[in-house]
Amino acid sequence: MPAAQGVSAELYLGGIGLARGYHNRAALTAERFVPDPFDEQGGRLYRTGDLARYRDEGVIEYAGRIDHQVKIRGLRIELGEIEASLLEHGSVQEAVVIDVDGPSGKQLAAYLVAEHSGDNLRDALKVYLKETLPDYMVPTHFVWLASMPLSANGKLDRKALPTPDASQLQRQYVAPSTEQEQQMAAIWADVLKVERVGLSDDFFELGGHSLLATQLISRIHTGLGIDIPLRLIFEKPQLNEFIQAFASSGLSLTEDGLSDIEKMMNEMAGI
């Protein structure tokens, strides 16, 4: 069935100029050359393996390779769609996106050849991508390269792409100083599976996502005895802002790990 306008799907080719198949490769021919459901004369179509979609003006837009689809946390992601969005940014000259293993599961890594690099461009690209892509398609890692690695035949060598440096996800480290900050930072680090978390670090930039956010809120409730609304981690993803937000709402931690509200209730009950 043809895909609706604007929806990415595999591109098929057909017509009188279509080849009969691959020379001496019967299995591959059977896989790629399939019956044309729209041709009553028994014609065939060629499966290109390319993803494409119709734009509003009728132009066919390339959206990557179908074999470059990945699934992360149950969500199917077309890497080519992310690459195409990155290439539309004026500072990006080349872009490749792959999935990599992270402390809490698979993560997206974008490899870029750009006019300049650094945290400012990384932050700008994240904001830019979120304008057109869902959050789960915004890469966790951004790796700057002078040029893309190529194989002997001149094609992109994805296996030669360097492993992202997880430490680059962290901003300049600001150590937690109070007991409250240290308790919260320890929980964040444990949930995110990282060595340490500083006050200026961002939960989602360190690999956090909605499932881990739920775990975080549960761990805070279990370990520190306070109830924090889930939305707070999305509204205040930096550790220092997160702590300030729930502290200002009257849920600051006491020395024994209980919230002020719980301590007051215990005193009233004579505990």
- What is the tens place of the pLDDT at every residue in 120-138? 888 899 999 989 898 889 9
Residue 179, sorted as left (phi over 0), alpha (psi -120 to 50) or beta, turns out to be alpha
Fold entry, domain 170-268? 1.10.1200
Most confident of 69-73, 218-222, 264-268: 218-222
12 or 117, greater pLDDT: 12
pLDDT grade for 233, boundaries at 50, 70 and 90: very high
Query: 224 exposed, middle or buried (CB, 10 Å; 0-12, 13-18, 19+)?
Result: buried
Kind plus residue range of the DSSP H or E element containing 239: helix 239-246
What pLDDT, on a 0 to 100 scale, did the predictor assign at position 258?
41
What pLDDT, on a 0 to 100 scale, did the predictor assign at position 105?
80
Q: Tokens standing for 84? A: 């195409």
Cβ partners under 8 Å of residue 249, min gap 6? none
C-beta atoms surrounding 271 within 10 Å: 8
Length of the chain: 271
pLDDT grade for 261, boundaries at 50, 70 and 90: very low
The domain covering 9-58 belongs, at the CATH homologous superfamily level, to Luciferase; Domain 3 (2.30.38.10)
**Angle made by CA atoms 259, 264, 268, in degrees to the nearest 5:** 150
Q: Is 90 exceeded by the pLDDT of residue 96?
A: yes
Q: Is 50 exceeded by the pLDDT of residue 269?
A: no
Fold entry, domain 67-167? GMP Synthetase; Chain A, domain 3 (3.30.300)
pLDDT tens, position by position, 50-93: 878 888 888 888 776 776 778 887 888 888 889 989 988 989 99
What pLDDT, on a 0 to 100 scale, did the predictor assign at position 190?
92
What residues are paired with 110 via a beta bridge?
97, 142
Q: Is 90 exceeded by the pLDDT of residue 8?
A: no
Q: Rounded to whole angstroms, how far apart are CA atoms 65 and 48?
A: 9
pLDDT grade for 271, boundaries at 50, 70 and 90: very low
Model pTM? Answer: 0.59
What pLDDT, on a 0 to 100 scale, did the predictor assign at position 170?
60
| Mean pLDDT confidence for 237-244 | 91
What pLDDT, on a 0 to 100 scale, did the predictor assign at position 137?
92
- Across the chain, what does the average pLDDT equal? 83
Q: Is 90 exceeded by the pLDDT of residue 110?
A: yes
| Mean pLDDT confidence for 178-204 | 89
Contact indicator for 132, 111 with CB cutoff of 8 Å: no
What pLDDT, on a 0 to 100 scale, did the predictor assign at position 171?
64
Enumerate the domain spans of the chain. Answer: 9-58, 67-167, 170-268
The position carrying tokens 């992601």 is: 77
Contact indicator for 96, 83 with CB cutoff of 8 Å: yes
Amino acid at residue number 3: A
Q: Is 70 exceeded by the pLDDT of residue 2?
A: yes
What pLDDT, on a 0 to 100 scale, did the predictor assign at position 256?
44
Q: Is 90 exceeded by the pLDDT of residue 145?
A: yes
Contact indicator for 173, 198 with CB cutoff of 8 Å: yes
| Mean pLDDT confidence for 147-165 | 87
Query: How many CA atoms, within 13 angstroms, populate the side-chain half-sphere of residue 38?
Result: 7
What pairing do the DSSP bridges indicate for beta strands 105-114 and 141-144?
Answer: parallel
pLDDT tens, position by position, 161-189: 998 876 666 666 788 889 888 999 999 99
